A and B are shown apart, each in its own frame.
Chain A
Amino acid sequence: MSRQPLSLFTPQSADVVIVGAGVVGALVGQRLARAGVSVLVLEAGPRLELWRVVERYRDTAFKEDDMAPYPPTAHAPHPQSSPDNDYLQQMGPEPYNAGYIRAVGGTTWHWTGQAWRFLPNDFRVHALYGVGVDWPVGYDTLEPWYYEAEVEMGVSGPSDGSLGSPRSQPYPMAEQPLSYYDRRIKEMLAVDGLHLVTEPQARNSRPYDGRPTCCGNNNCSPICPIDAQFTGAAAVRKAEAAGAVVLANAVVYHVEAGAQGVIQAVHYKDPYGQSYRVTGKYFVLAANGFETPKLMLISTSGRHPRGIGNSSGLVGCNLCDHVGTSAYFYGKEPLWPGRGPMRLSCLNDLRDGPFRAQHAAVKLNFSNASPYPLVARELIAEGYTGTALDRRIRDLSSRRVTMSSFLEQMPVRENRVVPSATARDALGIPKPEIHFAIDEYVRRGAAVARQYFDRIGRLMGATAVHHGSGFAGNNHMTGTLTMGNDSATSVVDAHTRSHDHPNLFLASTGVMPTTATVNSTLTAVALGLRAAAQIQSEL
């Protein structure tokens, strides 16, 4: 039985109740609060302090694990791999090791700020190439919302058309200058007709929105120590400044629907297990592509035995990510990666084309992360000591070129997240159970990426290209709340409103029907802002 919140200062109701204080939920909250709407944001996890995260990073033995500086709480656990906390229940056949953060600010505490728009063709892959599904909205509809998202997030990028996504206005900030390393790669690849572009990124190239200019601390992920990179935590500050109330450690575990499917309330538990009920006129679920479907699926009732918003049976299904591969080599020239932000450029040639009928499209990224710890570790393992070790660290660190691919995975119903029937967290809430397979479409794309890794290595004078084994996830969880015009084949409509509940909107990467080749945050924010405007127009 839920109580009303006890504190006089804790609202029991708001015009709009948002579940999840990540980048999307916070910017939805900000937009509505600015318009004078009362907004309450319920966040399962705690508040984090930037300096503490930086210190945790410096102190951890697991510097390559982006989750290490973000230890999970007992009441709102999230995946942890060093050591594994057994949160995600992996049912295979492939593991899907998502690394999301349940905290005020959400997972963009540890992103690299890549803030991409889709290509116009990305919204129509079924019509054009006979694969995946088409979106119920097109690029032109989304363009103004992309721009609003770029302004709110503070995106710097090239406005010269090189990225392939038409713009009505230039980026809010000029692009980050390429590092010497990225620029030389660009020059060497251009000789063979390959096109490297500067990535658009939510990272300041000038002081912006109260945050400083990036000065190249080379630690974008797991934490930008100076706040030059936009995060959900900055979004939360903006939302609170606009008047939204953000309640941390409020773990929503039930969404309550009334007659005609109207959502009446959400119920949350505090860390001690006490339940509270919060009512509202509109509800926005913005708890990422895993926790949102999980919450909907555990919100069962007599009226909604399959959970909230799940008349289609598709909540949690169609899980897609950018399945990733990687490679590195030592080029001929010392280029000194590690100067500036951790990622600045990518190959823009494999993101679209008729080949998408046959294999996954690819974004091929160049890492500008400083490699010296990794190089030292490898050399010590090889047996180097003393001055030979130091000489090799310097030489190899100056010449290492590291690449990764994002492969577009197409939606398959069987790839899904469901609440575990057996595994529960400390509050008794089911843990997410993941079913995940990687199909031949992606594997053929990986083979193409591999050819390009080798070709780039040859162009840069490498004697050997070292290919990573297996596939990596990239925490871009899409498809699990898929958007469409047909309520039988999708969870939300073109405004991300639930087909089943007139006052329920979903704001998450999960609503994206396909994942294209680019990082998903900007698109999720653009869709969220559009949903916020729709809610505002109805209040």
Chain B
Amino acid sequence: MSEMRSASPTGDPAEPAISRRTLLAATAALAVAASVGALGLHAVGADQPTSPELDAFLAVSRRLTGKEVLDPALGARLHAALVRAHPDLPRAVASLEAWLAENAGATGPALAHAPAAERETGQRILRGWYLGLVGEDHAAECVAFESILAYQPVADQLVMHTFCREAPGYWAEPPAAVRSATA
């Protein structure tokens, strides 16, 4: 009896197999998590596709994120997804770049002072890099998980959701940031 199988095939749609990207990204994230102080930046590949639009997108992304080095593979994926969701992205990127250049000294929530169109473009791009999300509401698409930038500022204190890197019960001890602040 215990060998009995379901009398009928499952009604589930066909499932994609686990992707190489996911495996590679997970492996990279684990490796990064294991190295103290690392910030999860992937190695810059030499064989990434490029185009003037992508270059402009990466340039404005560096300015928005304040990071000199961004994962070019994620950048290309993010750019493609953003262009799909917002076909006028190249033009919007150019005007955002111009606004950012003029307001380079802005402090605090810099985009809060930008005109609506530039603010929206900047927030869309940041949402992609920081949360891995493109598109609004139910059309939203996930383009990244392990490599989202939102994780970097807390990577030395918190595990990434679904991952594990310390012994059971480690959470009872004060976190390293608290220990070093009180030492």
Query: Which A residues lie at the B interface, using CB under 8 A?
Result: 5-7, 9-11, 38, 46-47, 51-52, 54-55, 57-63, 73-76, 82-83, 176-180, 183, 205, 213-219, 223, 225-226, 240, 243, 245, 247-250, 270-272, 274, 276, 334-336, 338-340, 370, 372-373, 375-377, 379-391, 393-394, 397-398
Contacts and interface: CB of A to CB of B under 8 A. Distances in A.
A265 to B, nearest CB: 16
Nearest to B181: A334
B157 A336 contact: yes
21 contacts: A38-B1, A47-B6, A47-B10, A58-B146, A75-B11, A177-B171, A216-B159, A249-B6, A270-B8, A271-B10, A276-B7, A336-B158, A339-B158, A339-B159, A370-B154, A370-B159, A370-B161, A376-B130, A383-B112, A385-B126, A386-B63
A217 B9 CA distance: 33
Interface string B165-183: 0111111111101100100
Contacts, number: 222
B150 A385 contact: no
A216 B169 CA distance: 8
B171 A11 contact: no
A10 B171 contact: no
Nearest to B175: A336
Interface residues on B, range: 35 or more
Given A217-B163, A372-B158, A240 B2 contact: yes
Nearest to B148: A373
B2 A381 contact: no
B142 A372 contact: no
Given A180-B178, A249-B6, A249-B9, 16 more contacts: A11-B4, A58-B145, A73-B10, A177-B171, A178-B172, A214-B168, A215-B167, A249-B7, A336-B178, A338-B158, A339-B157, A370-B161, A382-B109, A387-B66, A388-B107, A390-B152
A248 B6 contact: yes
B56 interface: no
B88 interface: no
Interface of B: 1-12, 15, 18, 22, 63-66, 107-114, 119, 122-123, 126-127, 130-131, 133, 135, 138, 140-142, 145-146, 148-154, 157-159, 161-164, 166-175, 177-178, 181
B119 A46 contact: no
Contact of B7 (A6, A58, A177, A370): A6
B121 to A, nearest CB: 12
Contacts of A46: 10-12
Contacts of B11: 46, 73-76, 249, 271
Nearest to B5: A9
A217 B4 contact: no
Closest 3 CB pairs of A and B: A386-B66, A383-B112, A340-B171
A245 B161 CA distance: 35
A515 to B, nearest CB: 30
Contacts of A274: 8
Nearest to A42: B7
A245 B15 contact: no
Contacts of B65: 385-386, 389
Contact of B171 (A62, A179, A223): A179
Contact of A336 (B66, B164, B177): B177
Contact of B164 (A51, A226, A335): A226
B168 to A, nearest CB: 4
B110 A61 contact: no
A243 B3 CA distance: 10
A380 B123 contact: yes
B159 to A, nearest CB: 6
B130 to A, nearest CB: 5
A177 B172 contact: yes
Given A339-B171, A373-B131, A388-B110, A245 B4 contact: yes
Given A46-B10, A248-B10, A55 B18 contact: yes
A391 to B, nearest CB: 7
A113 to B, nearest CB: 15
Nearest to B122: A385
Contacts of B163: 217
Nearest to A62: B140
Nearest to B150: A376
Nearest to B137: A83
B112 A382 contact: yes
A248 B146 CA distance: 33
Contacts of B146: 58
B86 to A, nearest CB: 16
A390 B66 contact: yes
B1, B11, B66, B141 interface centre (most CB from chain A within 10 Å)? B11
A59 B109 contact: no
B177 A398 contact: yes
Nearest to B39: A390
B6 A216 contact: no
Contacts of B122: 385
B64 A386 contact: yes
A10 B4 contact: yes
Contact of B172 (A179, A225, A248, A383): A179
